Structure 1
Amino acid sequence: MEKIFKELDELEFELPSWAFSDAGTRFAVFHEEGAARNVFERIEDAALVHELTGCCPSVALHIPWDRVENWEELKEFVEEKGLRIGAINPNLFQDPDYKYGSLTNPSEKIRKKAIAHVMECVDIAVKTGSKIISLWLADGTDYPGQDDFRSRKKRLEESLKYIYENMPEDMYLFIEYKFFEPTFYHTDIPDWGTSYLLSEKLGERALVLVDLGHHAQGANIEYIVATLLSERKLGGFHLNNRKYADDDLTIASINPYEVFLIFKEIAFAWKDPELSDFAKKVVLMFDQAHITKPKILAMIQSVVMAQELFVKALLIDRRRLREAQEKCDVVEAEEILMDAFRTDVRPLLRENRKRKNLPEDPIKVFREGHYMEKRRRERR
């Protein structure tokens, strides 16, 4: 148990600012009374989640949603709340100019506009102390013949090269992928192989970001994670869950076993002497849309669930598993995994929180503390 507690001390999650504000579907946005209305209120809500869980010290920003006039003021506010700024996420998917692409657009003028926005985010990262630019493109085409694939690939590579070469030498570029949507014929960065290819061409500070909802049904995400870890090209995650496509549901709400198997690969890399230092730098960030769940409560629930599944992964008997694998004992190998997955680790986590003077049950404390009632009054 002491060993698990020590490993829990190293387990951190990054919260997304946008998860604390109103969100919806392409059909409607649903308002939650008391939800954060600006970046300062989003930081306040993230700080509350960290206060109750003790493992979420960083918050990612999305530009322009979180843009402010005075970045030094925001940085000081974040630090006063006991947090730090995490990844900076450029927005290259809402401007009407990006209808036919941003970094891949046939128009040089629009490509330069998109690059300028990313470089603005690099400048914001410098001012706020962030070391990560997390890039997702909605670029693609809807119809055959709409554009030339190789030309778009060339434009993308040239755009990324400019961004990468003009970033500070201690800053990382995370390249996210998504196999479809919002374009439906082809996507310019549709899979982990394309992200890997782009990051490999750029250099060591370009890494792949894995969003759990950005894969085809049945994709073996844990295999992708293992491969990227072995190549030292895994930068981080957008943790969520899905039933159909990019649903952005709360983590493990649909398939907890899948998340457990993904965390298994990270936990095993943590314990690998050759990979440990790299693996512990992989950013575990949430990216969820709390459409029908209360936003702060949903985030606390997600953090608690992620902790539980990661601890289960830490409990796997690696020695026995390796012996079963070497003997090709398929049933025994699976049973070893299931033993860990079936283990109720909630008492262990409650004891760990108690030792840290944290609420043993963060969800219960949030409910009984009437935190949302206070926010509704303050933000009326």
Structure 2
Amino acid sequence: MDIRPRLREQRIETPSWAYGNSGTRFKVFAQPGVPRDPYEKLADAAQVHRFTGIAPSVALHIPWDKVDDYAGLRRHADGLGLSIGAINANVFQDDDYKLGSVTNPDPRVRRKALDHLLECVDIMDATGSDTLKLWFSDGTNYPGQDDIRARQDRLAEALESVYARLGEGQRFLLEYKLFEPAFYTTDVPDWGTAYAHCVKLGPKAQVVVDTGHHAPGTNIEFIVAFLLREGKLGGFDFNSRFYADDDLMVGAADPFQLFRIMYEVAEEPGIAFMLDQCHNLEPKIPGQIRSVMNVQEATAKALLVDKNALKSAQAVGDILAAHAVLMDAYNTDVRPLLADLRQEAGLDPDPMAAYARSGYFQEISAARVGGAQAGWGA
């Protein structure tokens, strides 16, 4: 089978925040050459696309990427061969949100949070983005702290208002997270909660799966398969984790899990593949390049699965034969194939080495002196 046409069509969105400084709860580690504003973040993202050929869009995080002229930011992206991807709202980094944002018991705070979400739709209009990504840190730390059902009512009311504001061709993706920073209840803790709200709202509301937001041992590919069946899988935030929401490079901790997920979704149209990672120690741009390559490799292996052989084995209950079909694809070295595809597209077959030779890191390290570096929360 020739999987090259599908691989040529693949697109992976990189996040603006991955190019800024990040760290743990204890320390943010500064690196040389880190962007000082959204324009420089886009310039770095253009390097990832330049060497991989499949990362032409960049997700923004508001207010981290707030500018006075979003149409101008869009033109800047266009000039770099990029487009603006998902707009990510931020209703978790304000003192008013201590007890929640859209689920806060205080109507004033809920209004403030909703106004920000609606502002993000305005930014979508100005930048040409078709996707709003919503993640809420809302929840409680102690039994009795707030009314659990009332918080779900407040959440539903806010989502209805945002949904009504969406324009033609726009959608929002609702993200879920098992825990953190709320440790007793989280208002959107799992895919079922996100799914229930999205079903009630309609086709413009879909679920986004962050691969790090699950309990250890969770079968993420089952969640993916179920949401696909229901038409409610909107996209992924790809990263990797050993313990909780580690935000490591996708495929770093469990590449076989990434392969299993991609097997379920690789040939489905309309699914957004987005990275959501923090490169705390490793260099930012190479970290994104490597992550894009990891998704590419998992996708290529998933597309190599002999589905006819797999279905035949499944139909007669031949467990070992069915498992062998998957393992044969997973154990295939697809790197030569991807190198050939890059050469066909006029790219260097080794993106990591090509970036290292480009001198871009040395250039930005020398040029980006002065001003505040972008970072987590910037």
Counterpart check, 1:81 vs 2:70: no
The residue aligned with 1:304 is: 293
The residue aligned with 1:42 is: 41
Match of 1:281, SS state, is coil
Out of 323, 332, 335, the position equivalent to 2:312 is 323
- Give the alignment of 1:1-380 within 5 angstroms: 3-267=2-266, 270=267, 279-380=268-369
* Aligned mates of 2:338, 2:162 — CA distance in 1: 42
Query: Which ranges of 4 or more aligned residues in structure 1 deviate by more than 3 Å?
Result: none
Give the C-alpha shift of residue 370 in structure 1: 2.2
Give the C-alpha shift of residue 155 in structure 1: 0.7
| Cα deviation 1:271-292 (Å, max 9, x = unaligned) | xxxxxxxx32110000000001
The amino acid that maps onto 1:359 is D
The amino acid that maps onto 1:63 is I
The amino acid that maps onto 1:285 is M
The residue aligned with 2:372 is: none
* Aligned mates of 1:166, 1:340 — CA distance in 2: 44
The amino acid that maps onto 1:117 is H
Give the C-alpha shift of residue 250 in structure 1: 0.2
Give the C-alpha shift of residue 170 in structure 1: 2.1
Give the C-alpha shift of residue 378 in structure 1: 1.2
Match of 2:3, SS state, is helix
The amino acid that maps onto 2:357 is E
Q: CA RMSD in A?
A: 0.8
Match of 1:162, SS state, is helix
Match of 1:114, SS state, is helix
The amino acid that maps onto 2:339 is R
Give the C-alpha shift of residue 21 in structure 1: 0.4
Q: Gaps spanning 5+ residues in structure 1: where?
A: 271-278
| Cα deviation 1:191-247 (Å, max 9, x = unaligned) | 000000000011110000000000000000000001101111001000000000000
* Aligned mates of 1:158, 1:350 — CA distance in 2: 49
Give the C-alpha shift of residue 70 in structure 1: 0.9
Give the C-alpha shift of residue 169 in structure 1: 3.1
Which range moves more in the overlay, 116-125 or 368-377? 368-377
Give the C-alpha shift of residue 361 in structure 1: 0.1
Q: Gaps spanning 5+ residues in structure 2: where?
A: 370-378
* Aligned mates of 1:350, 1:135 — CA distance in 2: 36
The residue aligned with 1:274 is: none
The amino acid that maps onto 2:325 is I
The amino acid that maps onto 1:33 is P
* Aligned mates of 2:158, 2:253 — CA distance in 1: 37
* Aligned mates of 1:354, 1:224 — CA distance in 2: 36
The amino acid that maps onto 2:244 is A
The amino acid that maps onto 2:338 is L
Aligned residues: 369
* Aligned mates of 1:308, 1:180 — CA distance in 2: 30
Match of 1:377, SS state, is helix
| Cα deviation 1:342-380 (Å, max 9, x = unaligned) | 000011011100000011000011112222111101112
Give the C-alpha shift of residue 305 in structure 1: 1.2
* Aligned mates of 1:155, 1:72 — CA distance in 2: 33
The amino acid that maps onto 1:239 is F
The amino acid that maps onto 2:176 is Y
* Aligned mates of 2:236, 2:312 — CA distance in 1: 30
Question: Which of the pair has the greater relative contact order for Cα pairs under 8 Å at 6+ separation?
Answer: 2
* Aligned mates of 2:337, 2:225 — CA distance in 1: 27
The amino acid that maps onto 1:338 is M
The amino acid that maps onto 1:91 is N
TM-score (norm 2): 0.97
* Aligned mates of 1:344, 1:163 — CA distance in 2: 45
* Aligned mates of 1:365, 1:170 — CA distance in 2: 37
Match of 1:208, SS state, is strand
Match of 1:163, SS state, is helix
Q: What fraction of aligned residue pairs are identical, expressed as a percent? A: 49
* Aligned mates of 2:9, 2:112 — CA distance in 1: 40
| Cα deviation 1:283-338 (Å, max 9, x = unaligned) | 00000000011000100011111101100000000000011111111111111101
* Aligned mates of 2:367, 2:178 — CA distance in 1: 42
